[in-house]
Structure 1
Amino acid sequence: MHGPASPGWLLVALCAATGAYCLLRMRSNVEEQRRAAGGEALMGFGMAAMAVPATVFTPPPWTWPLYAAVFGAAALRALWAARTSRGGRGGRGGLHHLHHLVGTAAMAYMAVVMAASPAHQHTHHGAGVPPLTAVLLLYFTGYVLLSGARLVPSAVAGGTGVVRWGDRPELARACRLSMGIGMVAMLLTL
Protein backbone atom coordinates (compact mmCIF):
# COMPACT_ATOMS: atom_id res chain seq x y z
CA MET A 1 0.00 0.00 0.00
CA HIS A 2 1.07 3.57 -0.53
CA GLY A 3 1.87 5.61 2.54
CA PRO A 4 4.55 6.25 5.17
CA ALA A 5 6.67 3.31 6.35
CA SER A 6 6.19 3.54 10.15
CA PRO A 7 2.38 3.40 10.21
CA GLY A 8 2.58 0.75 7.50
CA TRP A 9 4.69 -1.50 9.70
CA LEU A 10 2.34 -0.94 12.64
CA LEU A 11 -0.55 -2.00 10.41
CA VAL A 12 1.41 -5.07 9.27
CA ALA A 13 2.07 -6.04 12.91
CA LEU A 14 -1.57 -5.48 13.95
CA CYS A 15 -2.97 -7.50 11.06
CA ALA A 16 -0.42 -10.32 11.42
CA ALA A 17 -1.12 -10.59 15.17
CA THR A 18 -4.85 -10.67 14.45
CA GLY A 19 -4.35 -13.39 11.83
CA ALA A 20 -2.24 -15.41 14.28
CA TYR A 21 -4.93 -15.19 16.97
CA CYS A 22 -7.53 -16.28 14.43
CA LEU A 23 -5.40 -19.35 13.72
CA LEU A 24 -5.55 -20.11 17.47
CA ARG A 25 -9.33 -19.78 17.31
CA MET A 26 -9.39 -22.48 14.61
CA ARG A 27 -8.42 -24.97 17.34
CA SER A 28 -11.48 -24.06 19.41
CA ASN A 29 -13.97 -26.65 20.62
CA VAL A 30 -16.76 -24.24 19.64
CA GLU A 31 -17.82 -24.96 16.06
CA GLU A 32 -18.96 -21.38 15.41
CA GLN A 33 -15.51 -20.07 16.43
CA ARG A 34 -13.72 -22.51 14.11
CA ARG A 35 -15.90 -21.63 11.13
CA ALA A 36 -15.40 -17.89 11.45
CA ALA A 37 -11.72 -18.07 12.37
CA GLY A 38 -10.43 -19.43 9.05
CA GLY A 39 -11.81 -16.59 6.97
CA GLU A 40 -10.70 -14.04 9.53
CA ALA A 41 -7.16 -15.49 9.56
CA LEU A 42 -7.06 -15.16 5.76
CA MET A 43 -8.18 -11.53 6.08
CA GLY A 44 -5.61 -10.75 8.79
CA PHE A 45 -2.66 -12.24 6.95
CA GLY A 46 -3.83 -10.86 3.60
CA MET A 47 -4.14 -7.39 5.09
CA ALA A 48 -0.67 -7.72 6.64
CA ALA A 49 0.82 -8.71 3.29
CA MET A 50 -0.92 -5.89 1.43
CA ALA A 51 0.07 -3.32 4.07
CA VAL A 52 3.84 -3.81 3.71
CA PRO A 53 5.09 -0.31 2.83
CA ALA A 54 5.87 0.12 -0.87
CA THR A 55 9.03 2.01 0.07
CA VAL A 56 10.40 -1.20 1.61
CA PHE A 57 9.13 -3.85 -0.78
CA THR A 58 7.38 -3.49 -4.09
CA PRO A 59 5.67 -6.75 -4.92
CA PRO A 60 5.98 -8.15 -8.43
CA PRO A 61 3.14 -7.19 -10.81
CA TRP A 62 1.51 -10.65 -10.68
CA THR A 63 0.93 -10.32 -6.91
CA TRP A 64 -2.06 -7.96 -7.16
CA PRO A 65 -4.11 -10.12 -9.58
CA LEU A 66 -3.35 -13.10 -7.31
CA TYR A 67 -4.66 -11.17 -4.27
CA ALA A 68 -7.74 -10.17 -6.28
CA ALA A 69 -8.40 -13.81 -7.22
CA VAL A 70 -7.91 -15.13 -3.66
CA PHE A 71 -10.12 -12.49 -2.07
CA GLY A 72 -12.65 -12.73 -4.89
CA ALA A 73 -12.96 -16.46 -4.16
CA ALA A 74 -13.25 -15.70 -0.43
CA ALA A 75 -16.00 -13.18 -1.23
CA LEU A 76 -17.92 -15.82 -3.20
CA ARG A 77 -17.54 -18.24 -0.28
CA ALA A 78 -18.82 -15.58 2.14
CA LEU A 79 -21.73 -14.87 -0.20
CA TRP A 80 -22.60 -18.57 -0.25
CA ALA A 81 -22.30 -18.79 3.55
CA ALA A 82 -24.54 -15.73 3.99
CA ARG A 83 -27.09 -17.21 1.62
CA THR A 84 -27.22 -20.56 3.42
CA SER A 85 -26.77 -19.24 6.97
CA ARG A 86 -29.51 -19.91 9.46
CA GLY A 87 -28.50 -16.78 11.36
CA GLY A 88 -27.22 -18.27 14.61
CA ARG A 89 -26.45 -16.07 17.64
CA GLY A 90 -29.84 -14.43 17.64
CA GLY A 91 -29.94 -13.92 13.89
CA ARG A 92 -26.53 -12.23 13.66
CA GLY A 93 -24.70 -15.18 12.05
CA GLY A 94 -25.90 -14.15 8.60
CA LEU A 95 -24.85 -10.56 9.29
CA HIS A 96 -21.34 -11.74 10.15
CA HIS A 97 -21.16 -13.53 6.79
CA LEU A 98 -22.35 -10.36 5.04
CA HIS A 99 -19.68 -8.35 6.85
CA HIS A 100 -17.08 -10.90 5.79
CA LEU A 101 -18.41 -10.58 2.22
CA VAL A 102 -17.92 -6.80 2.31
CA GLY A 103 -14.43 -7.21 3.77
CA THR A 104 -13.24 -9.76 1.22
CA ALA A 105 -14.80 -7.78 -1.63
CA ALA A 106 -13.01 -4.65 -0.34
CA MET A 107 -9.70 -6.55 -0.32
CA ALA A 108 -10.30 -7.72 -3.90
CA TYR A 109 -11.18 -4.14 -4.88
CA MET A 110 -7.98 -2.78 -3.31
CA ALA A 111 -5.92 -5.42 -5.11
CA VAL A 112 -7.50 -4.47 -8.44
CA VAL A 113 -6.82 -0.77 -7.79
CA MET A 114 -3.21 -1.53 -6.85
CA ALA A 115 -2.76 -3.67 -9.97
CA ALA A 116 -4.06 -0.83 -12.12
CA SER A 117 -1.94 1.90 -10.50
CA PRO A 118 1.68 2.57 -11.43
CA ALA A 119 4.21 1.59 -8.74
CA HIS A 120 4.74 4.94 -7.01
CA GLN A 121 1.86 7.05 -8.26
CA HIS A 122 -0.59 7.62 -5.43
CA THR A 123 -2.11 11.00 -6.11
CA HIS A 124 -5.50 11.45 -7.70
CA HIS A 125 -4.64 14.87 -9.17
CA GLY A 126 -7.76 16.55 -7.85
CA ALA A 127 -10.08 13.69 -8.76
CA GLY A 128 -11.11 13.16 -5.14
CA VAL A 129 -11.96 9.86 -3.50
CA PRO A 130 -13.51 7.28 -5.84
CA PRO A 131 -17.17 6.60 -4.92
CA LEU A 132 -16.63 2.91 -4.08
CA THR A 133 -13.70 3.78 -1.82
CA ALA A 134 -15.85 6.40 -0.07
CA VAL A 135 -18.68 3.90 0.47
CA LEU A 136 -16.25 1.33 1.87
CA LEU A 137 -14.67 3.95 4.14
CA LEU A 138 -18.09 4.90 5.50
CA TYR A 139 -19.03 1.25 6.04
CA PHE A 140 -15.83 0.31 7.86
CA THR A 141 -15.78 3.51 9.92
CA GLY A 142 -19.32 2.75 11.07
CA TYR A 143 -18.35 -0.87 11.73
CA VAL A 144 -15.37 0.21 13.85
CA LEU A 145 -17.47 2.63 15.90
CA LEU A 146 -20.24 0.09 16.44
CA SER A 147 -17.80 -2.74 17.24
CA GLY A 148 -15.93 -0.57 19.70
CA ALA A 149 -19.16 0.33 21.46
CA ARG A 150 -20.17 -3.36 21.65
CA LEU A 151 -16.77 -4.40 22.98
CA VAL A 152 -16.86 -2.22 26.09
CA PRO A 153 -19.84 -3.91 27.83
CA SER A 154 -18.53 -7.42 27.12
CA ALA A 155 -15.18 -6.61 28.73
CA VAL A 156 -16.83 -5.84 32.07
CA ALA A 157 -19.55 -8.51 31.91
CA GLY A 158 -17.39 -11.36 33.24
CA GLY A 159 -18.37 -14.98 33.23
CA THR A 160 -18.09 -18.19 35.13
CA GLY A 161 -15.67 -20.99 34.49
CA VAL A 162 -12.40 -21.13 32.61
CA VAL A 163 -12.57 -20.17 28.95
CA ARG A 164 -9.77 -21.14 26.56
CA TRP A 165 -8.00 -18.35 24.66
CA GLY A 166 -9.46 -19.51 21.37
CA ASP A 167 -13.01 -19.39 22.76
CA ARG A 168 -13.02 -15.89 24.25
CA PRO A 169 -15.73 -13.90 22.44
CA GLU A 170 -14.35 -10.53 23.58
CA LEU A 171 -10.98 -11.35 21.99
CA ALA A 172 -12.68 -12.40 18.77
CA ARG A 173 -14.57 -9.07 18.78
CA ALA A 174 -11.32 -7.21 19.46
CA CYS A 175 -9.72 -8.95 16.49
CA ARG A 176 -12.61 -8.00 14.24
CA LEU A 177 -12.35 -4.43 15.52
CA SER A 178 -8.60 -4.45 14.76
CA MET A 179 -9.22 -5.68 11.23
CA GLY A 180 -11.88 -3.00 10.75
CA ILE A 181 -9.42 -0.32 11.87
CA GLY A 182 -6.82 -1.80 9.54
CA MET A 183 -9.29 -1.73 6.66
CA VAL A 184 -10.01 1.97 7.28
CA ALA A 185 -6.27 2.70 7.32
CA MET A 186 -5.71 0.75 4.09
CA LEU A 187 -8.61 2.44 2.32
CA LEU A 188 -7.31 5.85 3.37
CA THR A 189 -3.94 5.14 1.75
CA LEU A 190 -5.53 3.77 -1.42
Structure 2
Amino acid sequence: MALLLGGCTSDAKPNTSTVTPSGSTPSTSAPPTSARPTPTPRPYPADVPLTGHNVKPGEKPPLYPAAARSRTQAGANAFAEFYMRTLDWAYATTNPSYMKHYTGPSCGLCTGLATGISKTAAEHLWYMGGRLTVHAATATPVGPVTAPADFCSTTMVDISATSVVDKTGKIYNGQGALVKQTFKLCAKATSTSWLATYLIGTTK
Protein backbone atom coordinates (compact mmCIF):
# COMPACT_ATOMS: atom_id res chain seq x y z
CA MET A 1 0.00 0.00 0.00
CA ALA A 2 2.88 2.41 0.71
CA LEU A 3 4.19 1.97 -2.86
CA LEU A 4 0.80 2.79 -4.34
CA LEU A 5 0.51 5.92 -2.25
CA GLY A 6 4.02 7.01 -3.26
CA GLY A 7 3.04 6.74 -6.95
CA CYS A 8 0.28 9.30 -6.50
CA THR A 9 2.55 12.20 -5.51
CA SER A 10 2.44 15.39 -7.65
CA ASP A 11 6.25 15.77 -7.46
CA ALA A 12 7.54 14.68 -10.91
CA LYS A 13 11.18 14.83 -9.85
CA PRO A 14 12.70 11.44 -9.14
CA ASN A 15 13.95 10.68 -5.69
CA THR A 16 17.67 10.63 -6.51
CA SER A 17 18.45 8.84 -3.28
CA THR A 18 16.89 5.67 -4.71
CA VAL A 19 17.74 6.00 -8.43
CA THR A 20 20.93 4.32 -9.73
CA PRO A 21 23.16 6.91 -11.47
CA SER A 22 23.59 6.42 -15.22
CA GLY A 23 26.44 4.05 -16.10
CA SER A 24 26.78 2.69 -12.60
CA THR A 25 26.22 -0.95 -11.67
CA PRO A 26 23.53 -1.78 -9.13
CA SER A 27 24.74 -3.30 -5.92
CA THR A 28 24.96 -7.09 -6.11
CA SER A 29 25.54 -7.71 -2.43
CA ALA A 30 23.63 -10.80 -1.26
CA PRO A 31 20.78 -10.32 1.19
CA PRO A 32 21.56 -11.38 4.73
CA THR A 33 20.89 -15.05 5.36
CA SER A 34 18.67 -16.02 8.23
CA ALA A 35 20.16 -18.11 11.01
CA ARG A 36 19.31 -21.79 10.98
CA PRO A 37 16.82 -22.78 13.66
CA THR A 38 18.25 -24.62 16.63
CA PRO A 39 17.04 -28.24 16.57
CA THR A 40 14.68 -29.19 19.37
CA PRO A 41 16.36 -31.55 21.87
CA ARG A 42 15.03 -35.13 21.71
CA PRO A 43 12.95 -35.61 24.87
CA TYR A 44 13.74 -39.35 25.03
CA PRO A 45 17.00 -41.33 25.26
CA ALA A 46 18.59 -41.83 21.85
CA ASP A 47 17.85 -45.57 21.68
CA VAL A 48 14.11 -45.27 22.36
CA PRO A 49 12.11 -46.22 19.24
CA LEU A 50 9.54 -43.66 18.15
CA THR A 51 7.23 -46.11 16.40
CA GLY A 52 6.55 -49.81 15.91
CA HIS A 53 4.09 -52.42 14.64
CA ASN A 54 1.86 -52.07 17.70
CA VAL A 55 1.91 -48.26 17.98
CA LYS A 56 -1.33 -46.34 17.48
CA PRO A 57 -1.43 -43.65 14.77
CA GLY A 58 0.12 -40.43 16.04
CA GLU A 59 1.21 -42.00 19.33
CA LYS A 60 4.53 -40.94 20.90
CA PRO A 61 6.63 -42.44 23.70
CA PRO A 62 5.63 -41.32 27.19
CA LEU A 63 7.48 -38.31 28.55
CA TYR A 64 9.21 -38.40 31.91
CA PRO A 65 6.77 -36.46 34.13
CA ALA A 66 7.75 -33.27 35.89
CA ALA A 67 6.04 -34.58 39.05
CA ALA A 68 8.53 -37.47 39.18
CA ARG A 69 11.41 -35.02 39.70
CA SER A 70 10.31 -34.64 43.31
CA ARG A 71 12.10 -37.06 45.70
CA THR A 72 8.89 -37.64 47.66
CA GLN A 73 6.15 -40.25 47.81
CA ALA A 74 4.17 -38.20 45.30
CA GLY A 75 7.21 -38.17 43.01
CA ALA A 76 7.62 -41.94 43.42
CA ASN A 77 3.95 -42.44 42.52
CA ALA A 78 4.40 -40.36 39.37
CA PHE A 79 7.47 -42.39 38.50
CA ALA A 80 5.62 -45.68 39.04
CA GLU A 81 2.95 -44.61 36.56
CA PHE A 82 5.64 -43.52 34.09
CA TYR A 83 7.58 -46.77 34.47
CA MET A 84 4.49 -48.83 33.66
CA ARG A 85 4.00 -46.65 30.59
CA THR A 86 7.55 -47.45 29.47
CA LEU A 87 6.61 -51.12 29.82
CA ASP A 88 3.55 -50.40 27.68
CA TRP A 89 5.83 -48.74 25.10
CA ALA A 90 8.02 -51.85 25.13
CA TYR A 91 4.99 -53.92 24.10
CA ALA A 92 4.01 -51.27 21.56
CA THR A 93 7.42 -51.42 19.85
CA THR A 94 8.69 -54.90 20.87
CA ASN A 95 11.69 -53.04 22.25
CA PRO A 96 12.43 -52.65 25.99
CA SER A 97 15.11 -49.95 25.61
CA TYR A 98 13.05 -47.22 27.30
CA MET A 99 12.17 -49.17 30.44
CA LYS A 100 15.78 -50.39 30.80
CA HIS A 101 16.94 -46.80 31.35
CA TYR A 102 14.91 -46.76 34.58
CA THR A 103 15.42 -50.36 35.74
CA GLY A 104 17.72 -51.08 38.65
CA PRO A 105 19.77 -54.30 38.87
CA SER A 106 17.73 -55.63 41.81
CA CYS A 107 14.40 -55.65 39.92
CA GLY A 108 14.16 -59.26 38.78
CA LEU A 109 10.68 -59.07 37.25
CA CYS A 110 11.58 -55.85 35.40
CA THR A 111 14.66 -57.52 33.91
CA GLY A 112 12.70 -60.67 33.09
CA LEU A 113 10.04 -58.73 31.20
CA ALA A 114 12.68 -56.81 29.25
CA THR A 115 14.53 -60.03 28.40
CA GLY A 116 11.33 -61.69 27.18
CA ILE A 117 10.49 -58.73 24.93
CA SER A 118 14.02 -58.71 23.49
CA LYS A 119 13.78 -62.45 22.80
CA THR A 120 10.51 -61.93 20.93
CA ALA A 121 12.14 -59.27 18.78
CA ALA A 122 15.19 -61.48 18.13
CA GLU A 123 12.85 -64.16 16.76
CA HIS A 124 11.46 -61.56 14.30
CA LEU A 125 8.09 -61.59 16.04
CA TRP A 126 6.16 -58.74 17.59
CA TYR A 127 3.19 -58.02 19.80
CA MET A 128 -0.30 -57.09 18.73
CA GLY A 129 -2.40 -55.74 21.56
CA GLY A 130 -1.12 -56.18 25.07
CA ARG A 131 -1.33 -52.44 25.64
CA LEU A 132 -1.51 -51.15 29.20
CA THR A 133 -3.95 -48.59 30.51
CA VAL A 134 -2.24 -47.21 33.62
CA HIS A 135 -4.32 -45.91 36.52
CA ALA A 136 -3.19 -43.52 39.26
CA ALA A 137 -0.60 -44.96 41.64
CA THR A 138 -0.99 -44.83 45.41
CA ALA A 139 1.45 -45.12 48.31
CA THR A 140 2.20 -48.49 49.86
CA PRO A 141 4.66 -49.42 52.65
CA VAL A 142 8.21 -50.29 51.66
CA GLY A 143 8.48 -53.35 53.93
CA PRO A 144 9.12 -56.23 53.74
CA VAL A 145 10.95 -55.49 50.45
CA THR A 146 14.63 -56.38 50.66
CA ALA A 147 15.64 -54.39 47.55
CA PRO A 148 16.95 -50.84 48.06
CA ALA A 149 13.97 -48.49 47.97
CA ASP A 150 13.05 -45.01 49.10
CA PHE A 151 9.33 -45.39 48.38
CA CYS A 152 6.91 -48.00 47.07
CA SER A 153 3.70 -47.51 45.12
CA THR A 154 0.75 -49.64 44.11
CA THR A 155 -0.11 -49.34 40.44
CA MET A 156 -3.15 -50.75 38.67
CA VAL A 157 -3.30 -51.49 34.95
CA ASP A 158 -5.76 -52.90 32.45
CA ILE A 159 -4.13 -54.96 29.70
CA SER A 160 -5.76 -55.54 26.33
CA ALA A 161 -5.78 -58.98 24.69
CA THR A 162 -2.31 -59.89 23.42
CA SER A 163 -0.99 -61.91 20.49
CA VAL A 164 2.57 -62.63 19.37
CA VAL A 165 2.66 -62.67 15.56
CA ASP A 166 5.10 -62.82 12.65
CA LYS A 167 5.17 -60.68 9.52
CA THR A 168 2.52 -62.86 7.87
CA GLY A 169 0.14 -62.38 10.79
CA LYS A 170 0.51 -65.93 12.05
CA ILE A 171 -0.25 -66.08 15.78
CA TYR A 172 2.26 -67.94 17.94
CA ASN A 173 0.71 -67.39 21.35
CA GLY A 174 -1.39 -64.91 23.27
CA GLN A 175 -3.72 -64.24 26.16
CA GLY A 176 -7.04 -62.58 26.82
CA ALA A 177 -7.59 -59.12 28.25
CA LEU A 178 -6.76 -58.56 31.92
CA VAL A 179 -8.53 -55.99 34.08
CA LYS A 180 -7.39 -54.28 37.29
CA GLN A 181 -4.02 -55.99 37.54
CA THR A 182 -2.19 -54.51 40.51
CA PHE A 183 1.56 -54.27 41.02
CA LYS A 184 3.80 -53.10 43.82
CA LEU A 185 6.66 -51.05 42.40
CA CYS A 186 9.47 -49.76 44.59
CA ALA A 187 11.98 -47.15 43.49
CA LYS A 188 15.27 -45.64 44.57
CA ALA A 189 16.06 -42.00 43.83
CA THR A 190 19.23 -41.20 41.88
CA SER A 191 20.82 -37.84 41.19
CA THR A 192 18.77 -37.43 38.00
CA SER A 193 15.68 -39.65 38.23
CA TRP A 194 14.39 -42.85 39.84
CA LEU A 195 15.22 -46.50 39.29
CA ALA A 196 12.69 -49.31 39.66
CA THR A 197 14.23 -51.70 42.19
CA TYR A 198 11.34 -54.08 42.86
CA LEU A 199 8.18 -55.11 40.99
CA ILE A 200 5.67 -57.79 41.88
CA GLY A 201 2.08 -58.54 41.01
CA THR A 202 -0.31 -58.29 43.94
CA THR A 203 -3.90 -59.22 44.64
CA LYS A 204 -6.61 -57.16 46.25
**TM over 0.5, shorter chain:** no
| Higher strand proportion | 2
Larger relative contact order, structure 1 or 2 (CA cutoff 8 Å, min sep 6): 1
TM-score by length of 2: 0.28
